[in-house]
Amino acid sequence: MPERFPASLQQKIEDRLRYYEDLGIRLFYTDRGPGGAASPGLEEAGCAPPPVPVFEEIALPKSTPKPAPAKVAPVAAHPPLVVPPSGPSLFESTEKIKDDTLLRIREDLGECTRCKLHKGRNKIVFGDGDPKAQLVFVGEGPGADEDAQGLPFVGRAGKLLTQMIEAMGLQRKDVYICNVVKCRPPENRAPEPDEVSACSPFLIRQIDSIHPRVIVCLGATAAKTILNTTRGISQFRGEWLEWRGHKLMATYHPAYLLRNPPAKADVWKDLQKVMAELGLQLPKKRNP
């Protein structure tokens, strides 16, 4: 006896029925045309027509389209510095000065009164370390200990930074450490745009004078200032970026690590990338 349907057609019908069953539709009837006559065509070929579901009487669930994922703008390869709303681009206006030195930059800074931070400072915290260092760390601004001593990163966060540097196989004297602003903000608050605007040209000159192979931004303020971005640091932390001919890496500030010790593992991964870039030997068992 010949098959009721061709095998290929029977398989399609079974697949379609399983599909409807998955949707929760199990009741069907066959429309055989006016007067109960089967539709012509299949019978002439010796095959009975397959059952046809009547969609008009069955409410099928509507699928909700998934929203397109939000696009995150990448960090530019050559990002400009932060630009105050009413001022010129610091990136464009701060040109490299031939034969510039840290001593000359410090003399030009003088007993700075360019922003309101000078009113509450004890000492200007210019920077510290090797003027020809291959590695420069940039922080946010001085704290109480730094303001008292005139040196960057000498408080609790500074001691942790020293441990991090030593874990890399270096000493503080082998690197250069500075901040976005040179005077302590009140209550250790983040620097405001006008304060950043006043100090940034000196920071840029410091980096240009040292001409390091790698810059490490410690914390969101340093990273956002140099990269001119409002993105959270976690979105580009640990990624290599380029700025004014230098390779740049953003990582968490040591003060953040004091509050969130588990983040030390992420920072250590970032520092190992810096070590590899500088050709430093990775220690086998050591963490900052």
- pLDDT class for 286, splitting at 50, 70, 90? low
Query: Is residue 42 predicted with pLDDT exceeding 70?
Result: no
What's the pLDDT at 11? 74
SS3 sequence of 146-176: HHHHCCCCCCHHHHHHHHHHHHCCCCHHHCE
pTM over 0.75: no
What's the pLDDT at 74? 44
SS3 of residue 135 by DSSP: strand
- pLDDT class for 189, splitting at 50, 70, 90? very high
Query: Is residue 54 predicted with pLDDT exceeding 50?
Result: no
Higher pLDDT, 245 or 67: 245
pLDDT (mean) for 54-81: 42
Query: Is residue 111 predicted with pLDDT exceeding 80?
Result: yes
What's the pLDDT at 138? 98
- Domain boundaries 90-278, CATH class: alpha beta
* DSSP tally for the chain: helices H, then strands E: 9, 6
Q: Would you list the domain boundaries of the chain?
A: 7-57, 90-278
Query: Is residue 260 predicted with pLDDT exceeding 90?
Result: yes
Q: Looking at 29-38, 157-166, 200-209, which range is the least confident one? A: 29-38
For residue 45, what are the contacts with CB-CB under 8 A and spacing of at least 6?
Answer: none
